[in-house]
Amino acid sequence: MEQQVTTNKKVILKDFVVGFPKESDMILKTSETITLKLPEGSNGLLVKNLYLSCDPYMRGRMTKTEGSYIDSFTPGSPLTGYGVAKVLESGHANFKKGDLIWGFTGWEEYSIINAPEGLFKIEHTDVPLSYYTGILGMPGMTAYVGLHEICAPKKGEYVYVSAASGAVGQLVGQFAKLSGCYVVGSAGTKEKVDLLKNKFGFDEAFNYKEEHDLNAALKRYFPEGIDIYFENVGGKMLEAVLLNMRLNGRIAACGMISQYNLEQDEGVHYLSSIIGKRVRMQGFIVGDHYHMYPKYMEMVIPLIKEGKICYIEDIAEGLESAPAALVGLFSGKNVGKQVVVVARE
């Protein structure tokens, strides 16, 4: 078999990060010439990376942490994360050359994946492949699990989504609308707010940066209070939500992006209001729920094909653009799901 010889471009984390991550915390490096070949006896996969996913949880991995649900990145090594890739060579019985997969891979052109058991084989290729970093991947499952499994929305309930135009939020809002809920989202620019109302079909949307008093804003949009809050933000936003929850409300705690770059997180006031209002706050990690992926796909693929749901991506071209794309998440630069295209096939 002919073996291709090439170089391998990589995005390397220089060192652990304090505060807001900067592009300069990462460097782009091109390897010496390598041979595209699995090591002898490997049970892994050699893959060509096509799309890489930029996700807020990655901020946590830039810090040295212990006992987290996910390992820190290794300074001096490429970042890792969700991506879509093509199998060039397989040492594992479940995969063969030419398969498309999504799951954990490296921020580089070519990766060797040593434990491919956690990967998903891509069956539906009549949708954009990049969707497997978003609506058909981890963010899609996050929206589905958080809304349907954790919060169990009932028709007519009031749902609030923060970071609502993001990879997860745009889906939470649309799923909640499909469940017959009244849905309000917030985002940080006029453009995003317009998307929420005009593209994703939210009942209302507002720019949280223009609200001096988030509590008053939520009272305006939810005069009856909030039944379900899909928590992506934390901090002051969560405080305002706590003041506006309804009896028996549910909060799916998925992320708290406002806190990720602080050395000491903000204290959350009004937490005792969960007692009188019988609020349930549930933290979750999508990785616990991947057994439901087939069920989710059964639901979501027809919705996409029938045009009942849409998904906005913010596509950055080339590995070179990956550091800026990732960093941009934390200032809300991305509009929709932030994807990096490494190669299109």
Binders of a second copy among residues 129 to 148 (CB under 8 A) are none
What distance in Å separates the CA atoms of residue 201 and residue 337, rounded to the nearest whole number?
Answer: 17
Choose one: 67-75, 131-139, 187-195, 210-218; the region binding a second copy (CB under 8 A). Answer: 67-75
Binders of a second copy among residues 255 to 274 (CB under 8 A) are 255-256, 259, 264-274
- Asked whether the beta carbons of 253 and 229 are under 8 A apart, the reply is no
Of 16 and 270, CB closest to a second copy: 270
What distance in Å separates the CA atoms of residue 290 and residue 161, rounded to the nearest whole number?
Answer: 23
The two structure tokens encoding residue 314: 């913010």
Of 44 and 166, CB closest to a second copy: 166
DSSP 148-198: IIII---TT-EEEESSTTSTTHHHHHHHHHHTT-EEEEEESSHHHHHIIII
Report which residue type is found at 235.
G
What distance in Å separates the CA atoms of residue 50 and residue 85, rounded to the nearest whole number?
Answer: 5
The dihedral through the CA atoms of 105, 106, 109, 111 has a sign that is negative
Of 60 and 201, CB closest to a second copy: 60
x-or-dash string of contact with a second copy, 216-255, rule CB under 8 A = ------------------x---x--------------xxx
Of 96 and 154, CB closest to a second copy: 154
Please identify which residue in 283, 294, 302, 318 interacts with a second copy, judged by CB under 8 A. 283
Neighbours of 302 (CB within 10 A): 11
Please identify which residue in 87, 143, 183, 279 interacts with a second copy, judged by CB under 8 A. 279
Binding-site size for a second copy (CB under 8 A) equals: 33
Q: Does 275 bind a second copy (CB under 8 A)?
A: yes
Interacting residues of 41 by C-beta distance below 8 A, sequence separation 6+: 91
Q: Does 304 bind a second copy (CB under 8 A)?
A: no
Please identify which residue in 37, 63, 124, 284 interacts with a second copy, judged by CB under 8 A. 284
Of 281 and 315, CB closest to a second copy: 281
Choose one: 176-184, 207-215, 275-283, 323-331; the region binding a second copy (CB under 8 A). Answer: 275-283
CA angle 19, 24, 30 (to 5 degrees): 140
Q: Does 288 bind a second copy (CB under 8 A)?
A: yes
Of 23 and 266, CB closest to a second copy: 266
Question: Maximum Cα–Cα distance for the chain, whole Å?
Answer: 69
- Asked whether the beta carbons of 149 and 289 are under 8 A apart, the reply is yes
Choose one: 44-52, 155-163, 280-288, 324-332; the region binding a second copy (CB under 8 A). Answer: 280-288
Residues that bind a second copy (CB under 8 A): 68-70, 234, 238, 253-256, 259, 264-285, 288
